[in-house]
Amino acid sequence: MDISTNAIDLLYLTNTTTFKNIVAKKQLNYSKADLKLYRKRIFEQTRDILIGNKVEKEIHGAFDEYVGLSINHFKFLDKKEIIQKDYENIKKKSKKVGNLNYKEVNKLVYKNEKPTHYKITDCIKVKRKTKIKKKMILPQIRDFTKNMSAVPKDKSIVEKDNIIIRYDEAKIKKKEKKKEKNKKK
């Protein structure tokens, strides 16, 4: 036996393609013709070992290793048979898939209900203010093309959101008088 190339080292430490080449190159120590010629003597020697007659130590050690491997193999086969017997009564289910009804499949796969979206108003009480449309009075339209004092032509009322503008002539006159008094002082 070559010590430098152990089978385990070759298995785990070499490239797989290299390992295959090495295993392929490994040849048997005997030829088929030699096996045919010495077959009867090999059987006699094996029978002697089994009976208990003395044989060379190397042959007896190799035979012990062979017997140990054989016993482990047969134990494995027995365990396999016992485990397989447990599964003999199980029937195989073989249902063929027929025509599919896609509407039923879609009902199973997809959700039909729309997802609910939660709002803050669901959790907290919130007071809502509604917009009240209020009337807005626009000021009079004045014609400044002539140097005349501003003469009102017409008034219009427009609805706007949340804005109140009131046109009051009396208040405007009071403000103008205050401005004039402040200017004089």
Domain identity same for 42 and 109: no
Q: What is the pLDDT along the chain (185 residues), one digit of tens a residue?
A: 456 667 777 677 777 777 677 666 666 678 889 889 999 999 999 999 989 888 899 999 999 999 999 999 999 999 999 999 888 887 777 777 778 888 888 877 887 676 677 777 777 887 777 777 777 777 777 666 665 554 454 444 444 444 555 556 777 788 888 888 887 76
Domain identity same for 17 and 71: yes
Task: Please tell me what DSSP assigns to residue 147.
Answer: S
CA distance 135 to 122: 35
CB 116 within 8 A of CB 134: no
Task: Tell me how many domains the chain contains.
Answer: 2
How many beta carbons lie within 10 A of that of residue 22, not counting itself? 13
Residue 149 Cα distances to 11, 143, 145, angstroms = 115, 9, 10
Domain identity same for 121 and 179: yes
CA R_g for the chain: 55
Domain identity same for 109 and 173: yes
The residue whose two tokens read 């040849």 is 27
The residue range of the domain holding 35 is 7-86
